[in-house]
Amino acid sequence: MATYIFNNLTVLIEQGDITRQKVDAIVNAANSHLLHGGGVAASIANRGGSSIQSESDEWVKIHGLATHDHPAITGAGSLPCQYIIHAVGPVWGEGDETEKLNRTIRASLIVANDLKCGSVAFPAISTGIFRFPLELAAKCFLSAISEFASENILFFLHTVKIILFDETASRIFINEFSQKENK
């Protein structure tokens, strides 16, 4: 695990299972239809129970498709958190992927703060089945979190965890965040 401080925001990077994180909210790497059939989304839906998909279906009926700028919010079923923020990251190759991932991360941070969450855990959004390169994703996370932490807004959010599935991803993210710390 590695810890970084951005103003009053603590960022923890660790290898682990996002479905086991004891935080106020977790971020789900979702598709715009909120169909949780693969990757992180399937793990969250399977571990959290059927209410997550039911609430997601209802959210889409009411609000329409989730977007990069407008993540969905549901309860967490039986997961050890209160909320799931369903964030739609970009598919590699669709164009403007870096900007879209930055917007996705930023929108998720804003939603967590608006929900008065003190802590939120992210997976490496878009790096799985959406094929976004890990190194570039780490840069996006660093940029979006740093920018968010520098804004002069009322903060409820004090801890951001980036939970990575394997050692390679953890090493890439820690390396990127450590470079920022050394500048």
Is the pTM above the cut of 0.85?
Answer: yes
E strand map for 16-64: 25-30
CA distance 132 to 95: 11
With respect to CATH, is domain 2-181 assigned 3.40.220.10? yes
CA 168 to each of CA 26, 45, 91, 143, 173: distance values in angstroms, whole numbers, following the listed order: 22, 25, 21, 20, 9
Query: Which of 8, 7, 29, 10 has its CA nearest to residue 18?
Result: 29
Q: What does each of the 183 residues of the chain score in pLDDT, given as a tens digit?
A: 899 999 889 999 999 999 999 999 999 999 999 999 888 999 999 999 999 999 999 999 999 999 999 999 999 999 999 999 999 999 999 999 999 999 999 999 999 999 999 999 999 999 998 999 999 999 999 999 999 999 877 689 999 999 999 999 999 999 999 987 554
- Residue 31: phi and psi, rounded to 5, are -95, 165
C-alpha distances out from residue 66 to 90, 103, 104, 144, 174, Å = 12, 13, 11, 19, 30
- The two structure tokens encoding residue 146: 């740093």
Q: What is the pLDDT of residue 60?
A: 97
Cα–Cα distance for residue pair 27/19, rounded to 1 Å: 10
